[in-house]
Amino acid sequence: MQKSDPGIIASSLIALARCIRFYSRIPVPKLPFEEDPHGAPDFRIVPRVLPFAAVIIALPAALVLLGAGALGLTGFLAAALAVTVSILATGAMAEDGLSDVADGFGGGHSVERRLEIMADSRLGAYGAAAMVMALLMRVIALADLTDFMGLAAGASALLAGAGVSRVAGLLPLVFLPSARPGGKSASVGRPTAMTISLALIFSIVLGAALLFAGGFHGKGIALALLFSLVTALPMIALAQRMIGGQTGDVAGATQQVAEIGFLIILLVA
């Protein structure tokens, strides 16, 4: 039993490093026991530690929120700075996915045309509107949470929301086939039942612990975490109807919707 522990620890650390590299621009050095730090992550197993990676990625934004509040800035400005840092840390990957999905689903009249629009790097009216509204909702909800419950609550909501929403973004990969057989989402693989189960458990347990530490109570914690994950279901149904499957953009859009839903329900509850 003792001989297998180092292998488990090493594989978990490699998975954590690859999640951080894939989902963010935060530099992660090559681990001593890592063979290929630049290889594509194997999504069949790697996302089991995604909730922990997501919290690490969101940590700079949470620290900025706390620092801005400590300096006496308003909740709205502190939230805007925190969301800005979050975008810088992730390279706006999920935001780009949301805008591509909005452009493709809104402007295309066939599966082929929708996929073509989603692959186009240019930003259309639907995409611009979706991105602006998503950013506004994230900033306003975070600002209201911070003003109503304090800086610690806002920071804990940022961290917990990052974990559960990214796991929600995995669900289209689990339940839908790839809409582009040669696309990025197809190349990284589909999470196994064990992988997604562990990711869900970790996101709920870690999220609940962070929110409890931030001053939230049981009912609000449960509702927010559950609703964030459930928002993936209409996104899955919409993607199936519009393009017959999922893409990396659909995963990113699902993450954004899940994070917004999480913050709003947490605020309401």
Please give the Cα distance from 50 to 43 (Å, whole number). Answer: 10
* Residue extents of the structural domains in the chain: 43-268
d(Cα 89, Cα 229) in Å, to the nearest integer? 23
Instruction: Single out the residue of 117, 220, 236 nearest to residue 172, CA to CA.
Output: 236
pLDDT of the residue at 187 = 65
Query: pLDDT tens digits, residue range 197-208?
Result: 999 999 999 999
- Tens of pLDDT along 112-133? 999 999 999 899 999 999 999 9
Q: What percent of the chain has pLDDT over 70?
A: 96
Residue 5 confidence (pLDDT) above 60:
no
DSSP character at residue 150: -
pLDDT at 228 over 60: yes
Per-residue pLDDT, averaged over 232-253, amounts to 96
All residues at 6 or more sequence positions from 4 whose CB lies less than 8 Å from its CB, including other chains: none
SS (H, E, C) 38-62: CCCCCCCCHHHHHHHHHHHHHHHHH
Average pLDDT over residues 102-111: 94
Tell me, rounded to whole angstroms, the distance of Cα 259 from its chain centroid. Answer: 7
Identity (one letter) of the amino acid at 213?
Answer: A
Q: Which residue from 232, 194, 225 is spatially nearest to 209, judged by alpha carbons?
A: 225
- Contact in structure between 198 and 225 (CB atoms under 8 Å): no
| Average pLDDT value for the chain | 92
Q: Summarize the confidence of residues 243-263 as an average pLDDT.
A: 97
The pair of three-digit structure tokens given for residue 128, joined into one six-digit string:
């611009």
Element (H, E) at 123: none
In sequence order, the 6+-apart residues with CB closer than 8 A to the CB of 233 are 171
CB 50 within 8 A of CB 174: no
Task: Read off the pTM.
Answer: 0.92
State which amino acid sits at residue 126.
Answer: Y
Three-state DSSP class for 189?
coil
**Secondary structure (3-state) at 178:** strand
Question: How many Å apart are CA 227 and CA 233, to the nearest integer?
Answer: 10
Tokens in use for 72?
């006496």
In this prediction, what percent of the chain has a pLDDT beyond 90? Answer: 82
Whether the predicted pLDDT of 184 surpasses 80: no
pLDDT of 74 > 70? The answer is yes
d(CA 218, CA 213): 11
Question: Do 114 and 105 contact (CB within 8 A), yes or no?
Answer: yes
Q: What is the pLDDT of residue 1?
A: 39
Residues 6+ apart with CB under 8 A from 80: 139, 143
Phi (first) and psi of residue 201, to 5 degrees: -65, -50
CA 227 – CA 225 distance, rounded (Å): 6
Q: Does the pLDDT of residue 57 top 80, yes or no?
A: yes
Residue 32's pLDDT band, with cuts at 50, 70 and 90, is confident
pLDDT of residue 127: 96
